[in-house]
Structure 1
Amino acid sequence: LTHKVDRERGPLAANSDILAAIDFTFAKAKLARDMDAVRPTLNHEGRTHLVAARHPLIAKEQVVPIDIELGGDCRMLLVTGPNTGGKTVSMKTLGLMVLMAQSGCFLPVAQGSEIAVYDDVYADIGDEQSIEQSLSTFSAHMTHIVAILAKAGPKDLVLVDELGAGTDPEEGAALAMAILERLLAIGAATVATTHYSELKTFAYTRDGIENACVEFEVKSLRPTYRLLIGIPGASNAFAISQRLGLADSIILRAKELIRADHAQFEHVVSDLEQQKRLYEQMNADIAERQRHAEALEKKVAAQQADLDKKKGDLIKKARQESAALVRRTRREAEDIIESLKKQFDDQGIHARQAAMQEARRRLTEASEKARPGIVGQKHLGKKIDMKTLKPGDSVYLPKLDQKGTVLELHGKELEVQVGSLRTSVRAKDARFLGHAGAGGGETLMNGAKAPLGKAGGKHAWASAGNGGTGVYRQSGRGTTDLLGKTATARREIDIRGLMVDEAEGVLGKFIDDAQIAGLGEILVIHGKGTGALRKGVQAYLKHHASVLSYQFADQTDGGTGATVVQLK
């Protein structure tokens, strides 16, 4: 059997280690549950802040939680106070918390606690006198102190109980101050306890050291075990002796013998402790008021949120009702408009509109007959040959019923000078009259002739025939309306706000002017609105003799709020 076990010693040893790790993990979890422990925040900057720390070996019903602050500006804590006051327990609590945290255990502290990770922990606690080694209490302590000073570093924690005790008080106090100075120079985090009043003053005069004491209730001669940081502790030897029954005469004599400055210092310390208790009570009241205020703030915030929700619901409902009202009003308005249209129809509005359109049609026909160059009168000039056409040649523009001079050729387009106007036309929309420098005359309108030479140093054009359209005259500084319209013609017209019959009259005149100016495309801005004006305009364009096609404009030009019209 032993040989069989020996053959499996590798797996058995591994399993044993795994089971030990599992058992240790469950043990830590059970301990954390039993102690109501929490997970602290760890840091490597030497900063320790324990809130309501409880000694893990004292029953929960009896232990007094303490707050411990160490690190940062304060690298050393000097704890003073009477015997049996809890100084050593406070120091041991810190040491145990550090070791537990670095063993992976949760700590019996309040939430928000933080603890530093130290490289090593050195402690000199308890009476280590030894008859066998011929060591007194002082010698035993000093042996440990020597070893600690030789090994301690800036990332270590040093715990020293009753520093300098066991020898002459003056020498012991001086020695304790020198040791504390060395630990400060090393930079190790240190907690030390002492009875020496000189060390209390020493802590006040050195940077990096903070006084602390364990609170003691003189009336009941019982320690409260609460650690007060920032205040040195009084020994309370006279008060304790008096309460224990020592004769008053002896106590009075002792007070006479003690140095006056020491007595005054003890009195100041007592006052500080009293003020500390008063401030703590005030802070507790303030904290309670703050919690009450925070509860009220949460309640008010909840009420405000509820009001905001109700306000939002009311606004949403009002908007929905307003939108419904607008839609209903719009429908009613459209019904009224439709009714008015029918009423006007009954009075012959449509008949008048039809008569206006017929009059425009006849006017257009008459105009076209008076302008033979526009409607199929191809006899004026001849088709342009781009191979022979040159800048300076004379051409006729049927759409303008004007003669011009070719300035430049751009492919199938010509740039032509018509008086003071420069315009671009397609070659197929112009007729050739003659090359540069050629004389003679051309037929203008209704077969009449006009000289193409010079009159008074200026080009001269004459109208021909009765009822002909206006022609360009340039004699001195005079011009006709035709050239003015040609030079100032606009591409777009805005008819928003007009009634349909008003819009038709304005639009008909605009189309005529655009044609005279030689525009092939115009933009009619009618808006969106109810759509009545848009429908009326497009119905009018559909039957207009000069309109080739029409469609809604691009989004950049107005979308469905405008119509692009191509002219013949």
Structure 2
Amino acid sequence: DFAFAKAKLAKDMAANRPELSREGRTDLKQARHPFIAKDKVVPIDIRIGEDYRMLLITGPNTGGKTVSMKTLGTMVLLAQSGCYLPTAPDPVIAVYPNIYADIGDEQSIEQSLSTFSAHMTHIVRILQDVEEDDLVLLDELGAGTDPEEGAALAMAILEKLLQLRVTTIATTHYSELKTFAYSREGIENACVEFDVKTLRPTYRLLIGMPGASNAFAISRRLGLSESLILRAQQLVKADHAQFEHVINELENEKMMYEQRNADILERQQRVTELEAKVARTKEELSKKKGELIRKAREQSAAMVRRTRRESEAIIKELKEQFDDQGIKRRQQAIQDARAKLNEAFEKSRPGIMAQKGVGKAVSLKSIKPGDIVYVKKLDQKGTVLEVQGKELTVQIGSLHTKVKASACRFLDHAPKEPKGAGVPAASSSRRQSNAFMQKTQTIGREIDIRGMMVDEAEVVVGKFLDDAVMAGLSQVLIIHGKGTGALRKGIHEYLRRHRNVDSFQFADITEGGTGATVVTLK
């Protein structure tokens, strides 16, 4: 029943769950006294316990000083009873071991107590029992006696509470206490706002500024004769009158700055919204740009691959038509065609064929036949056959081509021949060349292994890769289909172990997507 009652109360008050602070910090925004009607209550902001432990509230009678103090006390009791608080979202409130209050006029004829005696009796008992981190609420501190003596007593009591590190909120009329709060660490002035033009309190709590009593203005509004008010103003000390004037000026400036701050905050919010809108637009344009570039690259890559396959078929026909007399012209024509295709393919899909940073620059002084070089334009490794000035004759697979030394990168020196080799170099080179020629004539760029078992496919793919390397191919396509994925996984695992495989990835959507794998050979 208690839990449901608290929930119903929280709903009726439009309350929020507080964060309980063990460090003595309280920060309530738009706090509403629960006993004042919703259409009449003026929300206030209360902060205490972080930079200061004592809040001294000054201002005119009927201005809301006591209500502000009672609002905090009620909020503390609500929170420590497990209730939500009628404030703006995310309230923070301290947990106080004990709460003491001296509020209201409890003079007693029966006990021979005046207003001052009644207040002092309570304060004496509070000072005897209060401990560090307790909360003390003192209304009209030092009232009911001689102003000078009352102000002096009030300052002494506040100093004692400061020494005990007690969280304190006190209300007063004494101007001396306003100056006292300015000269002590741990005390902060506050006031309830009063509109001098309308002679009405606004009931707003302003922390950081002392309030004026506005007794003359209120008396004039209530009908006191102007002559009496003028005489009273003459009797007031000049410095006090000047102090009250300064306070009024500060209140007017504070209201003006609050209005300016509200305007600045509104402009900042609009700027933030515009920045977010620009960022979203920029991100959308970036995505569209990336998508267009990706589609264009996919289309160009697919076109180049298609052209390459058609060219390979034409090259194969040309191989069959040429006789042995035109072998050199045939090899050169084939090499030139493949070089152009590789260059076009590399431009359309940058990063797939290019090998940046491979080897070191070729030195014409140290390069010699038999050394291994990397031809950048063809993206292939080859063996140097002859050095002619600044050009190199390089054998790549079964093909011979002339390239500039600056277009190559040095990889390794010529391998040393084993001693006692029984096969003449010319004969060995000739047989190797014939083998390359046979592979070049028969090997295709792709192989279809759909329907095979993994063991069977590994044998077929292994032979296909070896033939492709001998034919000088840099990339091949393995079509394995999608199905259950077992064949694809088995072949991918085999490719990771193969000595001639540099890398592999799924083919483009135009060549089968995840149903085929593009393999880059070493």
TM value normalised by structure 1: 0.62
Number of the residue aligned with 2:395: 498
- Identify which of 115, 130, 137 aligns with 1:159: 137
- TM-superposed CA distance for 1:557, in Å, is 7.2
| 3-state SS, counterpart of residue 131 of structure 2 | coil
Once the two structures are TM-superposed, the CA of residue 130 in structure 1 deviates from its matched residue by 1.1
| Structure-2 residue corresponding to 1:39 | 17
Q: Secondary structure at the match of 1:297?
A: helix
| Compared CA separation, residues 33 and 536, structure 1 to 2 (3 A) | closer
Q: Does 1:137 align with 2:34?
A: no
Give the corresponding residue for 1:420.
Answer: none
1:221 and 1:240 in contact (8 A); partners too: yes
Q: Give the corresponding residue for 1:119.
A: 97
Counterpart of 2:148 in structure 1 is: 170
Aligned-partner Cα distance in 1 for 2:416–2:322? 28
Alpha-carbon distance in 2 for matches of 1:131, 1:98 = 33
Q: Does the 8 Å contact 1:157/1:189 carry over to 2? A: yes
Shift of 1:286: 1.4
Structural mapping, 1:13-92, within 5 Å: 23-92=1-70
Count how many residue pairs are aligned between Structure 1 and Structure 2.
Answer: 388
What are the residue-to-residue correspondences of 1:536-551 with 2, within 5 Å?
none
Query: Partners in 2 of 1:67 and 1:267 — Cα distance?
Result: 25
Q: Which amino acid aligns with 1:81?
A: G
Q: Distance in 1 between matches of 2:274 and 2:155?
A: 52
Contact 2:370 2:415 in 1 (8 A): no
User: SS at 1:55's partner residue?
Assistant: coil
Q: 1:518 to 1:277 in 2, by over 3 A?
A: farther
Residue 498 of structure 1: SS of its match in structure 2?
Answer: strand
Matched residue, 2:81: 103
SS state of the match for residue 171, structure 1?
A: helix
- Identity score, percent: 65
SS at structure 1 position matched to 2:395: coil
Equivalent residue in structure 2 for 1:284, among 259, 262, 273:
262
Name the SS for the 2:128 alignment partner: helix
1:204-219 aligned at under 5 Å gives the runs 204-219=182-197
Give the Cα–Cα distance (whole angstroms) in 2 for the partners of residues 294 and 68 of structure 1.
29
Q: Which structure's CA Rg is the greater one?
A: 1
Map 1:432-471 onto structure 2 (within 5 A).
none
Q: Give the direction of change, closer, same or farther, for the CA distance of 1:348–1:76 in structure 2 (3 Å limit).
A: closer
- Corresponding residue of 2:220: 242
Q: Structure 1: how far apart are the matches of 2:121 and 2:416?
A: 121
Q: Is the 8 A contact 1:491 1:514 kept in 2?
A: no
SS at match of 1:288: helix
- Note the C-alpha offset of 1:531: 7.0
For the structure 1 residues 109 and 558, does the alpha-carbon distance in structure 2 shift closer, same or farther, using more than 3 Å as the test? closer
- Deviates further, 229-238 or 289-298: 289-298
Q: What secondary structure, in the 3-state scheme, does the structure 2 residue paired with 1:216 have?
A: strand
Residues 514 and 534 of structure 1, relative CA distance in 2, 3 Å threshold: farther
Q: Which amino acid aligns with 1:114?
A: V
* Gap change, CA 1:55 and 1:494, over 3 Å in 2: same
Partners of 1:64 and 1:225 within 8 A in 2: yes
Quick one: distance in 1 between partners of 2:397 and 2:102?
Answer: 108
Query: Is the contact between residue 55 and residue 63 of structure 1 (CA under 8 Å) also seen in structure 2?
Result: yes
Cα distance in structure 1, aligned partners of 2:416 and 2:246: 110
Residues in 1 aligned to 2:249 and 2:521: alpha-carbon distance in whole angstroms: 92
Letter aligned with residue 13 of structure 2: M
1:267 aligns with 2:245: yes
Q: Which runs of 5+ in 1 are unaligned?
A: 1-22, 354-487, 504-509, 540-551, 564-568
Q: List alignment gaps of at least 5 residues for structure 2.
A: 332-368, 374-380, 385-393, 401-413, 446-464, 472-494, 503-518
- RMSD (Å), alpha carbons: 3.8
Contact 1:125–1:161 (Cα < 8 Å) also in 2: yes
User: How far, CA to CA, are the matches of 2:13 and 2:261 in structure 1?
Assistant: 28
Letter in 2 for 1:290: Q
Match of 2:485 in 1: none
Match for 1:60: what amino acid? K
In structure 1, how many angstroms separate the alpha carbons of the residues matched to 2:416 and 2:171?
112
Q: Is the 8 A contact 1:489 1:513 kept in 2?
A: no
- Secondary structure at 2:253's aligned position in 1? helix
Aligned residues of 1:88 and 1:193 also touching (Cα < 8 A): yes
Query: How far apart are residue 537 of structure 1 and its match?
Result: 8.7
SS of 1:264's partner is: helix
Letter matched to residue 120 of structure 1 = N
- Mapped contact 1:218–1:239 kept (Cα < 8 A): yes
Kept in 1: contact 2:107–2:118 (CA 8 A): yes
* Residues 41 and 115 in structure 1, CA contact (< 8 A), matched pair in contact too: yes
Contact 2:382 2:397 in 1 (8 A): no
1:232 paired to 2:129: no
Kept after mapping to 1: 8 A contact 2:469/2:500: no
CA distance in 1, matches of 2:40, 2:190: 22
CA 1:113–1:499: 2 relative to 1, 3 Å: closer
